[in-house]
Structure 1
Amino acid sequence: MEKLYNLFTYGTLMQAFDNPYARKLRLSSNYIGKGYFNGKLFRVEWYPGALYEPDAPTPVHGEIYQLHSLEILKELDEYEDVMEDESASLYLRKVVPVRDSQEVVRDCWVYLYNQPVSDLPLIEEGYFKTKP
């Protein structure tokens, strides 16, 4: 049996966004539904950055996709500025436990922000929208 791979998105790869990478993700996966993990969400610029903090009282909301294969991850890694040298990466792709709308925990790949957040505005409600 083929292993299933899930990806959790909380920013510009979500369905509300129209860009080549979001379209490619939709073609390369099945949309499972909404989900969240405990952490903090920041507005970086026109895109967000999330930190996974298991004990945080705040959620980061987004969408869960079941990937047809791992091939798409190479392109998404490029889009998210994931580098071989982790210290130079804008994001790191990590497996995080994500709760779906039925509160079922699914292990998902997530692109977590990998730069300082001290000067970034916190998105308190944990939902990234196109406009601040």
Structure 2
Amino acid sequence: MLRPIFMQTEYIFVYGTLRRACTTGAHQTYLANAEFVGSANVRGSLYRVSYYPALVLDDAAGWVLGEVYRLSSNEQLQRLDAYEECTYPSQPDQEYQRKQITVVTDKGTSLMAWIYSYQHPIAGLEKISSGDFLNP
């Protein structure tokens, strides 16, 4: 299997259990060596699956709040894939797919970042209307 080449600067947008203020401990485990860039937003809808959220990207929807990090290595991105139970490219039966999208930082700049978007049906899931998993 070929490993993706790690670009010099790779960013990731996180919106749920990987955020700094989330109490699951996932942030400390998976993003400890990543550089915090800032708060950011993407267009989409957020749903509660269980103790974690699901983001459905949608350019016509509201804003979902999250954080952007500069990753330290390809291995860090692979560990995040394992945490999200996601391969790249993703398989249809996986809950999430990793893809690159444009995110808007709190400083108003746009950048390309990886994101884990939900790819299962949302029927029966509670919508988080605030767009902020930590402040529903």
Same fold (TM over 0.5): yes
Secondary structure at the counterpart of residue 73 of structure 1: helix
1:42 to 35, 38, 47: 47
Gaps of 5+ in 1: none
Structure 1 residues 19, 46: closer, same or farther in 2, change over 3 A?
Answer: closer
Q: Is the 8 A contact 2:55 2:118 kept in 1?
A: yes
Q: Is the 8 A contact 2:45 2:57 kept in 1?
A: yes
Number of aligned residue pairs: 129
Residue equivalent to 2:22: 17
CA distance in 1, matches of 2:107, 2:91: 34
1:71 to 70, 75, 80: 75
Secondary structure at the counterpart of residue 35 of structure 1: strand
From the two aligned structures, give the one with the greater helix fraction.
1
**TM-score of the pair, normalised by structure 1:** 0.89
CA distance in 1, matches of 2:59, 2:103: 10
Q: Is the 8 A contact 1:8 1:108 kept in 2?
A: yes
Q: Is the 8 A contact 1:21 1:76 kept in 2?
A: no
Q: Deviations over 1:64-98 (max 9, x none)?
A: 00111121111111111114661121111110110
Residue equivalent to 2:38: 33
Please identify runs of 4+ aligned residues in structure 1 that moved more than 3 A.
18-21
Gaps of 5+ in 2: 1-6
Secondary structure at the counterpart of residue 88 of structure 1: coil
Q: Is the 8 A contact 2:86 2:96 kept in 1?
A: yes
Residue equivalent to 1:108: 113
